[in-house]
Amino acid sequence: MKIVKSHFTLGLIAAAVVSLSACGGGGSSTVAANTNPVPTIAKTSKTFTVMDGLIQNALVCVDSNANGVCDATEIQGHTDLNGQVTLDIPTADLATAKLIAVVTAGLSTDKDTGAIPTSYTLQTPVGKLDVSDPVISPLTNMVQTKIDADHAAGTTTSVADADHYVISQLGLNNMQVSAFDNFVAKSAEGSTEHKKAGERAHVLVVSIQTSITSATGSAVTVAVTGGSAPGGSHAVEIDVEHSLLTQLSDIGKVSDNVEHLACATNSTNVAQDCKTEIENEVHSNHLDSADAGTGRGAGTTPATPATPATPAAPAAPAASATAGKALYVANGCGGCHGTPPSMSKILNGANSPTTISGAIGSVGAMSSFSGKFTAQNLADIAAYLATPKI
């Protein structure tokens, strides 16, 4: 990963002065230079919040050497119960510093969903520290990923453009939401678009976690401190995130889909109440099979394949358009028929389960669905096709 290096010039100059005078004359006459009082470095106290649910005990650090992990020598602290940590950052570095939050399995907890099953790291880009209510979230992390991916491809993308890209790809209104918003606070104030942003952030985290687990075969993979060995788990995570960057619109769809599932009805905390459903949706949309470990950068991973997955169990006994929508999304029908469904005669299946089963039996491209659906599944999909706008 190529990262624009932050410059912590004050510290470097101080170190250079010390070493120059130490090498200078070799005699005691030069020691006097070292007795000058060390100039006080102006610092600014900033409080950062780590989320998607507020994350307690995340290690937050200023990534001075831009290596993507927290080193013991870097300014750092742990978040409190409300996901917050206050760091004293040299004022001169505020504009050039990047922050990292390390969320560690067995140590950090998510206020919404509890114990963290798999470690991961989040970043927020240079230029976003000295703002009011700064956050580090899966959304800020995707903005940094977009900047890095474009940089690797030879393009310089501004933070603002990367922000707009991530938000629109996720299917959110970029006039109402920025990736840098405290979506936990704003959805608590009643903003539905920020509530959606929070759900997307959660689906992103689940996708990152399941991809890391499947790529490394281990749940706890990220080093809390120390350097990142090339090819190590940190490199895997970077690959996973670059891959997810190409699948943001699917993450948006999965989140919308979860919102319509039974678990989300009347739920104030979808992340918690729909834990299993979100995981199932991530699996069935292949968001957990990110092509980790093979190459980096934008476009290295093909879009979600349209291979069928295990259908989600329909909840209702009567034909349910909502369950049908879940099946439509989970099985990738939209890859050929559009989302919402519109293309290639798909609407012929409206209220007609036999047309759908007929297509599965006769259309070669759909033969892989053969035997996948129960009569109930087909009825649900047919009901959805009759009301594709839900």
Q: Where along the sequence are the contacts to ligand HEC (CB under 6 A)?
A: 306, 331-333, 335-337, 344-346, 348-349, 355-356, 358-359, 363, 365-366, 369, 381
Q: Which is nearer to ligand HEC, 102 or 379 (CB)?
A: 379
Q: Which is nearer to ligand HEC, 180 or 369 (CB)?
A: 369
Q: Which is nearer to ligand HEC, 295 or 338 (CB)?
A: 338
Q: Which is nearer to ligand HEC, 78 or 372 (CB)?
A: 372
Q: Quote the distance between the C-alpha of residue 276 and its chain's center.
A: 18
The Cα 163–Cα 175 span in angstroms is 11
Shortest Å, Cβ 389 to ligand HEC = 17
C-alpha closest to that of 18 among 28, 31, 7, 27: 31
The Cα 264–Cα 273 span in angstroms is 7
Q: How many CB atoms within 10 Å of residue 276? A: 9
CA dihedral sign of residues 367, 299, 64, 73: positive
Contact 341, 385 (CB under 8 A): yes
Q: Which is nearer to ligand HEC, 2 or 345 (CB)?
A: 345
Q: Which residues contact 154 (CB under 8 A, 6 or more apart)?
A: none
* Tokens 């996973």 belong to residue: 240
Tokens of 36: 């000058």
Shortest Å, Cβ 293 to ligand HEC = 27
Q: Which is nearer to ligand HEC, 244 or 329 (CB)?
A: 329
Shortest Å, Cβ 270 to ligand HEC = 25
The Cα 314–Cα 138 span in angstroms is 30
Shortest Å, Cβ 335 to ligand HEC = 5
